[in-house]
Structure 1
Amino acid sequence: MTVSTPANPPPPDKEAVLQQLERILASEAFQHSRRYPALLRYVVEKTLEGATEDLKERTIGVEVFKRRPEYDTAADPVVRMAASEVRKRLERYYTSPSHASELRILLPVGTYVPEFKFPEKPITKSERWLNERRVWAAALLLAAVVIAIGLAMRPGQSALDQFWRPVMTASPVLMVGETLIGVPKATPAGNSPVTEIIDPKLFLVVSEVNTKLAAYFSAHGKTLEFELARNVTLDRLRKRPFILVGAFNNPLARESVASLRYYLHLDTANRVRQIRDRQYPEKHWDAPFGELQRDYALVVRAPEPRTGQMMVVIAGLGERGTAAATEFLTNPKYMERFATQAPRGWNRRNLEIVLETEVAGGDWGEPRVVAAHSW
């Protein structure tokens, strides 16, 4: 059991931790959910039993979320997403002044082993008042940050605005995504590989991507119309500019970049997702199924070869690649950085950009440009 020991009070005992657990799970932050209380209860009870070796992503996925033992943790991040939400809800719980003097149950980032500790000292009425003031101050600061982001995203001549200008000619802009993932599954010798279609429940990631893009377009007086790839025909794509999100979970994205220099390829024999370079066939960027230390994404701004309509493709090999590419296309600093290295007139040319991002603890890092092509 991982215990942080304060200077004065003794370490919390098992009964105290269990009582605090029940208090937390009965709070508004947890009582209306099944998934997050189940995860928190599991990791707390396993830690109290001394069974921290069971607190691995795959074990939790099987025991708590009823996944198959062989499930692909890279394609189905249910444990990482749930743990992230549990951390947020615990923070929300302890932010309330009424809980300030209670025993802490914490779930540090990068581990599924919780920590238990007492607050350093009892909270006085004056300190409680100060905490309430800090909560309000934090809320005001957050509002200021949101306003600042909105101002930063206002239409102008930034490199980011120049990138998006060709698809800003109509509103709403069609944004096509998908939620199903194709996972190659090996079959007995002599048979061809097949694809098993699963629903990885990546709705939190999808929501983050959608929210960032919607916020950028809204700041520019435009809206997005969301649609699933399975419901979209080529005839519909001929009518106005569009955005394709996803790679191997969006067949329209794969088909739309198939004839370009950089294109998407699924190596089913070796269970590897790839971005390949048609000009230099020996060059490719790989993301195997399973745990990733690095993810990649292909960003395209060009006419769709079959319809002639302007498109933007945001295609991560994994979901973290897509998330990093979305950050690249909504945070002005990344496109400004790209513009300083891009050839003259890049903003008026068709573009393909290959991005790389480090993956650690289930989170993605900053997107970096590793290859680019314009024509």
Structure 2
Amino acid sequence: MEQDPSIELSDEKIREQLDLLVQDTVFRSSKRSIEFLRYVVDQTLKGSADQIKERTIGVEVFGRAPSYDTNMDHVVRTAAIELRKRLAIYYGEEKHRSEIRMSLVPGSYVPHFTLPTQPLPPEPEVAPEPAASAAPTTIATAQAEGSVPPPEPTPAATISAASHRRSLFFGLGLAVLVILSGVAYGRFHAQATQDIFWRPILDSPGSVLLAVGDVPNGPPTPSPTADNQDASLPTLQATAAPTVPFADMVTIASVVGTLESHGKKVLIRRESVSSFSDLREGPAVLIGAFNNEWSLRLTNQLRYTLALDAEKHLIYIKDTKNPTSRAWSWGTDQPKVHKHGGPALHDFALISRIWNSDTGHVVIVIGGLYTYGTQAAGEFLTDPNLVQSIVKSAPLDDAHRNLQIVLGTTVTDDTPGPPKVLAVSVE
């Protein structure tokens, strides 16, 4: 009888794999994902997997009060989505294929551990008393996640019963292969779609300029020379900030990681010291909206623009085909931090991929009305599955057409939720 591979999943080996995961670059930038994964793995190894619930995680990991409302506060669900994505990215790399795999059981927050897929062991011609442990790892995994195992034959089993069992194992193995092939194709196709969005920059020679907004002190003011305030360009403050908002730093890290993974060198500069001559030297990525003058200037002639309504104390994304709408707005006089139990905050972001005929290069603008929107936009552009969602709405492969994406995000406890596509424009 062949030993079941699952018994090799000792606590020691699982903890060693956990250390490998949290020390990898995929996880190091997310303290939230690290704490979440450490907690659920530790609870499972202690035999308390049945205690891993949304409320328990919210209290033990994220410091919520025991009576907090899980219907209003989605911190655990949002963190679980992020953790699943990071695990998928980690195990999607070839160098990690031979490691113990960790995942979250579908529909729960309980971790599941499996060995790397092993070859199917040979089936004997006649097996009167087959051992369930002889099933391949892929079959054992499928059973652990809810599939119904085949019934065991009685001691009086005949050769036809063994043949039936072999056919059943073959069928299950083939089904698993088809499923894994579909998952692999979906991941590859989504990754290819993300690459198409970035292709105009990736195919350009030389380095990429990443200009970070550094204008402090809140929203801009209306242009004093404009006759019509609704059509005015916001005017930024003249001084530069010594620091960069945390959300902008998260977006910078995501974008730099995506570009450098394709071999592109990135030059990071403050927007205030980036000139038109710099933009003429090669492609550029602009981080920030109302804190980045280049973002305001380069999107001004497109369908979706960054606008200011001083009378209503709003900054907003303006649709030139519906100029009176203020649906995508942020109140400049509203609280900037979401408090537990308070009304939900909604931020919006504008992503623009612009073919700039003046510079002869592509410029990508990533900016939210507030910092939450900027972070959500950065997450969107560096997640292959999210970029895949706009394929039917936009021809990503035409670099000479201007592409714009309007996103929305709901803020919970100072953390932006998953970005949602609200509008797409191609000109």
TM-score range relative to shorter protein: 0.5 to 0.7
Aligned residue number for residue 368 of structure 1: 420
Shift of residue 362, structure 1, vs aligned partner? 1.1
Q: 2:257 aligns with which of 215, 240, 251?
A: 215
* Residue segments in structure 1 that go unaligned for 5+ positions in a row: 1-83, 101-105, 116-141, 187-192
Cα displacement string for residues 25-50 of structure 1 (whole angstroms, at most 9, x for unaligned residues): xxxxxxxxxxxxxxxxxxxxxxxxxx
Aligned residue number for residue 380 of structure 2: 328
Q: 2:213 aligns with which of 170, 173, 178?
A: 178
Structure possessing the higher radius of gyration over alpha carbons: 2
Whichever residue aligns with residue 178 of structure 1, its letter is: G
Q: 1:237 aligns with which of 275, 279, 302?
A: 279
Aligned residue number for residue 205 of structure 1: 247
Whichever residue aligns with residue 146 of structure 1, its letter is: Y
Distance change >3 Å, CA 349–CA 199, structure 1 → 2? closer
TM value normalised by structure 2? 0.50
Shift of residue 309, structure 1, vs aligned partner? 2.5
Shift of residue 234, structure 1, vs aligned partner? 0.7
Cα displacement string for residues 269-315 of structure 1 (whole angstroms, at most 9, x for unaligned residues): 33311110112212341111335621111111112365343100101
The 3-state SS of whatever aligns with 1:226 is strand
Aligned residue number for residue 301 of structure 1: 353
Aligned residue number for residue 287 of structure 1: 330
The 3-state SS of whatever aligns with 1:280 is coil
The 3-state SS of whatever aligns with 1:298 is strand
* Residue segments in structure 2 that go unaligned for 5+ positions in a row: 1-29, 47-56, 67-85, 96-183, 222-234, 339-343
Distance change >3 Å, CA 357–CA 200, structure 1 → 2? farther
Q: 1:148 aligns with which of 92, 112, 118?
A: 92
| Contact preservation (8 Å) 1:298, 1:354 | yes
The 3-state SS of whatever aligns with 2:194 is helix
Whichever residue aligns with residue 175 of structure 1, its letter is: L
| Contact preservation (8 Å) 1:263, 1:277 | yes
Distance change >3 Å, CA 183–CA 276, structure 1 → 2? same
| Contact preservation (8 Å) 2:306, 2:317 | yes
Within the alignment, does 1:249 sit opposite 2:288 as a pair?
no
- Residues in 1 aligned to 2:277 and 2:268: alpha-carbon distance in whole angstroms: 17
Shift of residue 373, structure 1, vs aligned partner? 1.1
- Residues in 2 aligned to 1:166 and 1:244: alpha-carbon distance in whole angstroms: 15
Q: RMSD between aligned alpha carbons?
A: 4.2
The 3-state SS of whatever aligns with 1:328 is helix
Distance change >3 Å, CA 360–CA 144, structure 1 → 2? closer
The 3-state SS of whatever aligns with 1:181 is coil
Whichever residue aligns with residue 408 of structure 2, its letter is: E
Distance change >3 Å, CA 157–CA 145, structure 1 → 2? closer
Dislocated runs of 4+, deviation >6 Å: 84-97, 109-115, 150-157, 193-198
The 3-state SS of whatever aligns with 1:373 is strand
Whichever residue aligns with residue 287 of structure 1, its letter is: W
- Residues in 2 aligned to 1:209 and 1:226: alpha-carbon distance in whole angstroms: 13
Distance change >3 Å, CA 346–CA 108, structure 1 → 2? farther
Whichever residue aligns with residue 177 of structure 1, its letter is: V
Shift of residue 358, structure 1, vs aligned partner? 1.4
| Contact preservation (8 Å) 2:394, 2:403 | no
Shift of residue 357, structure 1, vs aligned partner? 1.3
The 3-state SS of whatever aligns with 2:418 is coil
Aligned residue number for residue 275 of structure 1: 317
The 3-state SS of whatever aligns with 2:205 is coil
The 3-state SS of whatever aligns with 1:260 is coil
Shift of residue 328, structure 1, vs aligned partner? 1.1
TM value normalised by structure 1? 0.56
The 3-state SS of whatever aligns with 2:218 is strand
Whichever residue aligns with residue 299 of structure 2, its letter is: V
Q: Aligned pair count? A: 255
- Residues in 1 aligned to 2:274 and 2:365: alpha-carbon distance in whole angstroms: 15
Cα displacement string for residues 176-202 of structure 1 (whole angstroms, at most 9, x for unaligned residues): 01243342599xxxxxx9969795965
| Contact preservation (8 Å) 1:247, 1:317 | yes
Cα displacement string for residues 53-108 of structure 1 (whole angstroms, at most 9, x for unaligned residues): xxxxxxxxxxxxxxxxxxxxxxxxxxxxxxx97997899899999xx9xxxxx984
Cα displacement string for residues 97-124 of structure 1 (whole angstroms, at most 9, x for unaligned residues): 9xx9xxxxx9849987677xxxxxxxxx
| Contact preservation (8 Å) 1:178, 1:230 | yes
